[in-house]
């Protein structure tokens, strides 16, 4: 008995008004990257319409959704998508190969997934603020003790990459509302985290946990946090590009490496620590480090997404249309 190939597909659940279902079915049937097409006439009650189910190769998912949008499906019905990590089917493999023949070298991007992920992570809510505060507090202790483990832990806990990614997507796709939410989260989250680090440092000094001579002691770990150089910008650019690729390819494991590659959270915490000690030289250095990191991540992220979007638009323009 032969073994089927495990293909990566996107499952679409489409609600279509009965008067438009013929066009939608014709579109799906004509696409070689679509399999397992099911039509249930009159199955949907609210809004009234037909239910269409199908699986489409990940490489063609956004193209297919855009075609359905041109038919007005999202206006009068709905389009839901679910990632199928593995589908054992030779038919699905053929559909995947049909889509891969026209794929650019940047790999498949399901833009609807990217938009959904970034929209979720740009909200300024209680959890975001709590994680920001906790990350800055952990980084503060790491700065006091010169502990690389605590610094890395603070980087992983920090939630700042979500709004940064949302801002990059908003810039590329010109979505003002997402940009506004992302900037609001960053503009409020970082000051709150910095303030928490400052108050915690003042409390620690008052309790005698930190000596008054702390500012005069050399801390090698703190030096790179408050001493931006060329490699700070370069590494942040690399991290921004890797973060966007991780986001668009759904490889979340790479995000951990991105989070511990740049010193946004440690720099923010060090700003608060420097204010508590009135060490304005350290404050200026930490501020510069934070600005360099944030700017480089956004620059690299926007550049990466723009390249991927250009390949997608070119492929969409060259794609043969049914009928």
pLDDT in tens, 29-49: 988 889 999 999 999 998 889
User: How many Cα atoms sit within 13 Å of 47 on the Cβ side?
Assistant: 12
Total-model pTM: 0.81
pLDDT (average), residues 208-219:
69
> Comparing 96 with 194, which gets the higher pLDDT?
194
Does residue 317 carry a pLDDT above 90?
Answer: no
pLDDT (average), residues 19-23:
89
pLDDT (average), residues 144-157:
88
With 0-12 / 13-18 / 19 or more C-beta atoms within 10 angstroms meaning exposed / middle / buried, residue 101 is exposed
> Comparing 216 with 122, which gets the higher pLDDT?
122
7 φ/ψ angles, rounded to the nearest 5 degrees: -95, 155
Q: What is the pLDDT of residue 37?
A: 94
Q: What is the pLDDT of residue 14?
A: 94
Q: What is the pLDDT of residue 2?
A: 43
Confidence of residue 137 (pLDDT cuts 50, 70, 90): very high
- The percent of residues above 90 in pLDDT, for the chain, comes to 41
Does residue 183 carry a pLDDT above 90?
Answer: yes
The 8-class DSSP code of residue 322 comes to P
Question: Which tens digits make up the pLDDT trace of 214-266?
Answer: 764 556 666 678 778 888 899 889 988 888 888 887 665 556 666 666 789 99
Q: What is the pLDDT of residue 4?
A: 45
In the chain, where are the structural domains located? 6-103, 115-311
Does residue 1 carry a pLDDT above 50?
Answer: no
Own/partner pairs, 61-67, CB within 8 angstroms, 24+ separation: 61/10, 61/12, 61/108, 61/110, 61/112, 62/109, 62/110, 62/111, 62/112, 62/312, 63/315, 63/316, 63/319, 64/12, 64/27, 64/28, 64/31, 64/33, 64/34, 65/12, 65/112, 66/316, 67/27
Query: CATH class for domain 6-103?
Result: alpha beta
Does residue 311 carry a pLDDT above 90?
Answer: no
Q: What is the pLDDT of residue 40?
A: 94
- Mean pLDDT for the chain? 85
Q: Which of 86-100, 144-158, 205-219 has the lowest mean pLDDT?
A: 205-219
Edge-to-edge strands of the sheet including 48-57? 34-45, 48-57, 6-16, 78-88
The 8-class DSSP code of residue 320 comes to P
């Amino acid at each position: 008995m032969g073994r089927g190939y495990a293909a990566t597909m996107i499952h679409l659940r489409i609600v279509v008004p009965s008067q438009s279902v013929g066009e939608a079915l014709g579109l799906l049937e004509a696409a070689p990257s679509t399999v397992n097409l099911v039509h249930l006439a009159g199955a949907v009650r609210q809004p009234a319409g037909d239910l269409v189910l199908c699986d489409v190769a990940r490489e063609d998912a956004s193209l297919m959704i855009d075609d359905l949008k041109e038919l007005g499906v999202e206006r009068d019905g709905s389009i839901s998508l679910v990632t199928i990590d593995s589908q054992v089917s030779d038919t699905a493999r053929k559909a995947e190969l049909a889509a891969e023949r026209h794929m650019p070298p940047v790999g498949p991007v399901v833009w609807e997934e990217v938009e959904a992920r970034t929209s979720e992570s740009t909200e300024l809510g209680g959890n975001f603020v709590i994680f920001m505060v906790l990350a800055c507090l952990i980084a503060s202790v790491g700065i006091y003790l010169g502990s690389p483990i605590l610094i890395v832990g603070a980087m992983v806990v920090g939630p700042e990459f979500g709004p940064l990614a949302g801002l990059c997507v908003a810039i590329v796709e010109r979505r003002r509302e997402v940009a506004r939410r992302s900037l609001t989260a960053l503009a409020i989250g970082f000051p709150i985290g910095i303030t928490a680090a400052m108050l915690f440092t003042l409390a620690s000094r008052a309790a005698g946990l930190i000596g008054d001579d702390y500012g005069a002691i050399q801390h090698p770990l703190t030096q790179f946090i408050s001493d931006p150089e060329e490699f700070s910008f370069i590494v942040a650019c690399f991290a921004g590009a890797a973060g966007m690729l991780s986001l668009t390819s759904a490889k979340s494991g790479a995000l951990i490496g991105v989070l511990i590659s740049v010193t946004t959270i440690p720099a923010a915490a060090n700003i608060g620590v420097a204010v508590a000690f009135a060490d304005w030289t350290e404050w200026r250095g930490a501020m510069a480090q934070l600005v360099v990191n944030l700017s480089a991540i956004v620059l690299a992220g926007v550049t990466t997404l723009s390249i991927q979007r250009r390949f997608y638009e070119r492929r969409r323009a060259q794609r043969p249309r049914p009928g």
